[in-house]
Amino acid sequence: MDFLRPGIWAEALAAKADRPEALPVQGGTDVMVELNFDTRRPAALLDLNRVAELAAWTAEPDGRLRVGAGVTYARLIAELGDRLPGLAQAARTVGSPQIRNRGTVGGNLGAASPAGDSHPPLLAGDAVVEVESAARGVRMIPAAEFYLGVKRSALEPDELIRAFWMSPASGPQYFSKVGTRNAMVIAVCSFAVALHPGERRVGTGIGSAAPTPRRAVAAEEFLAAELDWDARLDPAVLARFGELAAGAASPIDDVRGTADYRRHAIAVMARRTLTWAWNDLRSGRFERRAS
Ligand SMILES: Cc1cc2nc3c(=O)[nH]c(=O)nc-3n(C[C@H](O)[C@H](O)[C@H](O)COP(=O)(O)OP(=O)(O)OC[C@H]3O[C@@H](n4cnc5c(N)ncnc54)[C@H](O)[C@@H]3O)c2cc1C
């Protein structure tokens, strides 16, 4: 197995163009497990750890954050937790401190597992994935179009993930995950909401309850039409939101849970996360935290 170690981004793109079969490795928390269990034996590994550009994040002129694919969960929590609270909350549930010190959102996107914890908040927060190839340059792919199937994404063999772009939260955001214990656990299912009060819109993301992470589009449209932003949360609206969120899932029975349980849990988490976010908004807690 060849081990390729580019020092800068341009070299990484050139290496991927030259060897499309080379498997990128960032934190290695997915890749090394696959190598150890011999479920994957790539002809070459493309180690991205020396590419300093990937480990940086910047606030861009349009107000969005551009977060390099190599920024670890631990750094995301510490450095961006105030601006990306939903994603940071999801990051806190990933693995253990060791995994959070190595693992990255870039790697979660690269793996494109339906159970990856970063996906629901990326969807709810309208994230855009920046990918690049030496031949065709940069492509900006909305998160909602990035996931194509179980562990399949829109990434082409000669492309690498450079960063994800996301606006700092304009309202409360929450993530909820059901697992068989509190840490070191793959989600049985998960759910994220992001309130966008300026646009009177609520973003959603469902995890581990369909072949891909996905938005609950009908539930979002229902809230856009029915939510009274100046009133208390109507229990009937909340209940219908839960039903529509569950309806957006298409889960399977597997070792972690049944399809019925997952649908039920999605409805519960949708109601809970929306209630938490709504309470923060109404009480002014979000503004106090953001200022
Ligand atoms: C003990 C343990 C617990 C875990 N717990 C969780 C959990 O709770 N929640 C969760 O979501 N995940 C969990 N994981 C899985 C893993 O930690 C995450 O998916 C993590 O985000 C992977 O990031 P990484 O940087 O280590 O990726 P890597 O292992 O380096 O790569 C993962 C995939 O992405 C590709 N890739 C990496 N970087 C790029 C790039 N720049 N461009 C293109 N492709 C790229 C790789 O080729 C590979 O296919 C756990 C893993 C372990 C071992």
- Kindly give the number of the ligand 1 atom that is closest to the alpha carbon of 109: 34
pLDDT digits (tens, 9 = 90+) for 16-69: 999 999 999 999 999 999 999 999 999 999 999 999 999 999 999 999 999 999
Whose Cα sits closest to atom 37 in ligand 1?
107
Q: Kindly state the helix (H) or strand (E) to which residue 8 belongs, with its residue range.
A: none
Q: Kindly state the helix (H) or strand (E) to which residue 151 belongs, with its residue range.
A: none
Give me the pLDDT at residue 249, please: 97
Question: How many A from CA of 75 to the centre of ligand 1?
Answer: 15
Give me the pLDDT at residue 201, please: 97
Give me the pLDDT at residue 182, please: 82
Q: Does the Cβ of 71 fall within 6 Å of ligand 1?
A: no
Give me the pLDDT at residue 291, please: 63
Question: CA 259 to CA 22: how far, in whole Å?
Answer: 36
Average pLDDT over residues 267-273: 98
Count of C-beta atoms within a 10 Å radius of residue 97: 10
Which 8-state DSSP code applies to residue 220? Answer: H
3-class DSSP state of 49: coil
Give me the pLDDT at residue 185, please: 86
Determine contact, residues 14/51, Cβ cutoff 8 Å: no
Task: Extract the tokens encoding 103.
Answer: 């693992």
Count of C-beta atoms within a 10 Å radius of residue 63: 9
Task: Extract the tokens encoding 28.
Answer: 């290695």
At position 58, the amino acid (one-letter code) is T
Ligand 1 site-directed mutation target among 3, 8, 13, 25, most atoms within 8 Å of CB: 25
Whose Cα sits closest to atom 3 in ligand 1?
95
Q: Does the Cβ of 52 fall within 6 Å of ligand 1?
A: no
Average pLDDT, the chain: 96
- Percent of the chain with pLDDT strictly greater than 90: 94
pLDDT digits (tens, 9 = 90+) for 176-194: 999 988 888 899 999 999 9
Q: What is the pTM of this model?
A: 0.97
Q: Does the Cβ of 161 fall within 6 Å of ligand 1?
A: yes
Whose Cα sits closest to atom 18 in ligand 1?
108
| Range in 112-126, 141-155, 274-288 the model is least confident about | 274-288
Average pLDDT over residues 145-160: 98
Question: 185: buried, middle or exposed (CB in 10 Å: 19+, 13-18, 0-12)?
Answer: middle
Mapping DSSP onto H, E and C, the string for the chain reads: CEEECCCCHHHHHHHHHHCCCCEEECCCCCHHHHHHCCCCCCCEEEECCCCHHHHCEEECCCCCEEEECCCEHHHHHHHHCCCCHHHHHHHHCCCCHHHHHHCEHHHHHHHCCCCCCCHHHHHHCCCEEEEEECCCEEEEEEHHHHEEECCEECCCCCCEEEEEEECCCCCCEEEEEECCCCCCCCCCEEEEEEEEHHHCEEEEEEECCCCCCECCHHHHHHHHHHCCCCCCCCHHHHHHHHHHHHHHCCCCCECCECHHHHHHHHHHHHHHHHHHHHHHHHHCHHHHHHC
Q: Does the Cβ of 31 fall within 6 Å of ligand 1?
A: yes
Would the pLDDT of 288 be above 90? no
Whose Cα sits closest to atom 53 in ligand 1?
29
Question: CA 106 to CA 104: how far, in whole Å?
Answer: 5
Q: Does the Cβ of 28 fall within 6 Å of ligand 1?
A: yes
Grade residue 198 by pLDDT with cuts at 50, 70 and 90. Answer: very high
- Kindly give the number of the ligand 1 atom that is closest to the alpha carbon of 29: 26
